[in-house]
Amino acid sequence: MDVEAAAGVCSDIVDRVSEAVVADRTFLETVLAGMLARGHVLVEDVPGTGKTLTAIAFADALGLEFNRIQFTPDLLPSDITGTHVYDEHEGTFRFQRGPVFANVVLADEINRAPPKTQSALLEAMDEGQVSADGETFPLPDPFFVIATQNPVEQEGTFRLPEAQRDRFVVEVSMGYPDRAGELELLERRSNRTTTKPQVDAVVDAATVSDLRAVPETVTVEPAVREYLVDLARATREDDRVAVGVSPRGIQRFYEAARARAVVAGRSYVAPDDVKAVAPVVLTHRLVLTDEASIRGIDPAAVVSAVLDTVEVPAATAD
């Protein structure tokens, strides 16, 4: 599949998801770019904005198997990955696979589970496998996690460890629809008898795998690579930042920029692609100093300042 064909498929997928989810198209394209970049997406927003529906709609449009895991304070790691159970007929133990064994996994309200349980996803997200009692079990391919967390109602929640936040290629927020969007939401609800909209598949698992291979063919000129690296390194030099973007974060930045180019229908990464994905790729990877946190500095302000100060190259497709 070439870039032009992939861009057409991506547009069809976003169109189909938009039939169920009233959200900004840029948000939906960012979620899709996270999938194309072979990464995972963290969605943070207040309740009722459509985070869960977005995950379900994408799974349906992509024709992939979907599981939802509701994170709670009493959730155990084995509730996610699975456990060995005794088979009375065979007289042996067999591995009972947990809900993480699906193509698209919704980790709903991930910050409500303790760190030990949250960390059960780390190996799955990073290696595409689960280890239990000395055995390794591969996860389905493709494998994609959409995690949600609520920025309000922080009582009884646990902040995601920085190592886990770094596993998400992008962190995005849906935001509230505008007035026209909320009227559209009511119009759609009045025209159906079910409480949840249905989304038909646009592609299947094999096509999704083909789509995820397309960003590997996208060209990134040396000047654009230098621009991307300079942006990430500049976050480490900001006095308000205690921990800047890691080398792994730079790789995810690179992969997200290529995926963004595919969604836009380009066979090369333009500086605008880098600038477009920088806020959603870099912001959640920054750890501010205590002084900056006390002063109420937003990591997004640091990324914005970096984008304003680092020189943009004049790159072309040649």
Print the domain residue range for 231: 218-309
In a domain, 164, yes or no: yes
Q: Residue 131: which residues within 8 A CB-CB, separation 6 or more?
A: 123, 137
Tens digits of pLDDT across the chain (318 residues): 899 999 999 999 999 999 888 888 999 999 999 999 998 999 988 777 778 888 899 999 999 999 999 988 888 888 998 887 877 777 787 888 889 999 999 998 888 888 888 877 888 888 888 887 778 889 998 999 999 887 766 565 677 777 778 889 999 988 888 888 888 888 887 877 666 778 888 999 999 999 999 999 999 999 999 999 999 999 999 889 888 899 999 999 999 999 999 999 999 999 999 999 999 999 999 988 889 888 888 899 999 999 999 999 875 555
Question: Residue 241 is inside which H or E element, if any?
Answer: strand 241-243
Closest CA to 266 of 10, 28, 3: 3
- Is 316 within the bounds of a domain? no
**Do 151 and 241 belong to one domain?**
no
CATH code of 266's domain: 1.10.8.80
Same domain membership, residue 171 and residue 301? no
Task: Indicate whether 90 and 231 sit together in one domain.
Answer: no
Residue 198 lies in a domain: no
* Domain tally, the chain: 2
Asked if 37 contacts 169 with a C-beta cutoff of 8 angstroms, the reply is: yes
Contact assessment for residue 215 and residue 277, using Cβ atoms and an 8 Å cutoff: no
In a shared domain, residues 235 and 128:
no
Chain-centre distance for alpha carbon 192? 30
Q: What is the DSSP letter of 130?
A: E
Distance between CA atoms of residues 25 and 90, nearest Å:
52
What is the Cα Rg of the chain in Å?
20
Instruction: Provide the 8-state DSSP code for 238.
Output: -
Same domain, 250 and 298: yes
Euclidean distance between CA atoms 309 and 302, whole angstroms: 11
Give 15's strand partners. Answer: none
